[in-house]
């Protein structure tokens, strides 16, 4: 039941300028004062939400992944955010989960934003990634995934799998969404983040960028941390911000035990 300390970085991104973004983000990471365990960056943090993967894609041994590895090892943190990756002839909007020992996992964005033609340039992922840190299980997702609740839905354990009435058996404790979510649809962002927390009885963290991108689309940020009751623990709009928060597992378990709605959930199988 160890607490978990997480730092979110809400920042403007320099459009399609990888070196400038990495330099800027390195300075921000180095400026974090309280001890932290996980640092969360926005979606496509090295380029902005670019539809030019042929120009900016890297391999998993490329510059940005190596930068993430160096930062994670040096700062002794888990570092995460999504970047553009090429594998064989496919491009992915890939969230990298970089550990302090240089090992990593990754999640490829499942739901591609056809409204901005993302589906014409990238390949959809086929599986979720649920990471484990200090007894916490963390579901990692990207931006547009937020609109599809089935992809985030908890699968409660069956009664036969639960040792006692006091035991809570759920897939994960926290969802992290990294995003480039525009201000013109920000009400949906805020509403759906709260909904994911309430319906899955988990913490939710949403990390969005701020500022105008190369298409002159404005992003207000509105990064948040929400508890399992749907209450906002942190929120920042329209400016860059670095925020560190500690989540307490005992608080999560107390809510789940007091309101065991998760036990009434439907059994389902997710078909891909």
Q: Which residue has the tokens 């930062």?
A: 71
Average pLDDT of the chain is 95
- Asked, for residue 270, whether it belongs to a domain, the answer is no
- Asked, for residue 205, whether it belongs to a domain, the answer is yes
The single residue of 18, 69, 109, 236 carrying the catalytic annotation is 109
pLDDT, one tens digit for every residue, the chain (272 residues)? 799 999 999 999 999 999 999 999 999 999 999 899 999 999 999 999 999 999 999 999 999 999 999 999 999 999 999 999 999 999 999 999 999 999 999 999 999 999 999 999 999 999 999 999 999 999 999 999 999 999 999 986 655 555 555 556 799 999 999 999 999 999 999 999 999 999 999 999 999 999 999 999 999 999 999 999 999 999 999 999 999 999 999 999 999 999 999 888 888 888 77
Domain count, the chain: 1
For the domain that residue 227 is a member of, what is the CATH number? 3.60.110.10
Could you tell me where the DSSP H helices lie in the chain? 18-30, 53-56, 63-75, 118-121, 149-152, 186-200, 249-258
The reported pLDDT for the residue numbered 271 is 76
Of 119, 58, 54, nearest in space to 83 by CA? 58
- Asked, for residue 272, whether it belongs to a domain, the answer is no
Q: Tell how far CA 213 is from the center of its chain.
A: 20
Structure token pair of residue 33: 């004062």
The reported pLDDT for the residue numbered 244 is 98
The reported pLDDT for the residue numbered 84 is 98
pLDDT tens figures, 173-186: 999 999 999 999 99
Active site residue 58: no
The reported pLDDT for the residue numbered 168 is 63
Active site residue 126: no
Q: Name the residue range of residue 82's domain.
A: 4-264
The single residue of 37, 118, 143, 202 carrying the catalytic annotation is 143
- Asked, for residue 179, whether it belongs to a domain, the answer is yes
- Asked, for residue 90, whether it belongs to a domain, the answer is yes
Active site residue 143: yes
The reported pLDDT for the residue numbered 158 is 57
- Asked, for residue 56, whether it belongs to a domain, the answer is yes
- Asked, for residue 200, whether it belongs to a domain, the answer is yes
What pTM, to 2 d.p., does this model score?
0.95
The single residue of 43, 58, 69, 118 carrying the catalytic annotation is 43
């Amino acid at each position: 039941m160890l607490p978990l300390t997480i730092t979110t970085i809400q920042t403007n991104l320099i459009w399609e300028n990888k070196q400038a973004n990495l330099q800027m983000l390195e300075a921000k990471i180095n400026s974090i004062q309280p001890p932290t365990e996980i640092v969360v960056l926005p979606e496509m943090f090295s380029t902005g939400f670019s539809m030019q993967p042929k120009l900016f894609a890297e391999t998993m041994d490329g510059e940005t992944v190596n930068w993430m590895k160096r930062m994670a090892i040096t700062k002794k943190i888990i570092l995460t955010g999504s970047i553009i990756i090429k594998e064989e002839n496919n491009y992915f909007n890939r969230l990298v989960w970089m550990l302090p020992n240089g090992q990593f996992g990754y999640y490829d964005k499942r739901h591609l934003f056809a409204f901005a033609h993302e589906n014409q340039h990238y390949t959809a992922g086929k599986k979720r990634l649920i990471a484990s840190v200090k007894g916490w299980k963390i579901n990692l997702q990207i931006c547009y995934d937020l609109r599809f609740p089935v992809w985030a839905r908890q699968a409660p354990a069956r009664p036969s799998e639960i040792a006692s009435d006091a035991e809570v058996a759920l897939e994960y404790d926290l969802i992290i969404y990294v995003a480039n979510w525009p201000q013109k649809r920000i009400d949906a962002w805020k509403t759906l983040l709260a909904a994911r927390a309430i319906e899955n009885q988990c913490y939710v963290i949403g990390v969005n960028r701020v500022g105008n991108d190369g298409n002159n689309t404005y992003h207000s940020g509105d990064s948040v941390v929400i508890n399992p009751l749907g209450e906002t623990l942190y929120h920042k709009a329209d400016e860059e911000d670095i925020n560190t928060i500690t989540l307490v597992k005992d608080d999560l378990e107390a809510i789940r035990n007091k309101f065991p709605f998760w036990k009434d959930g439907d059994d389902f199988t997710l078909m891909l």
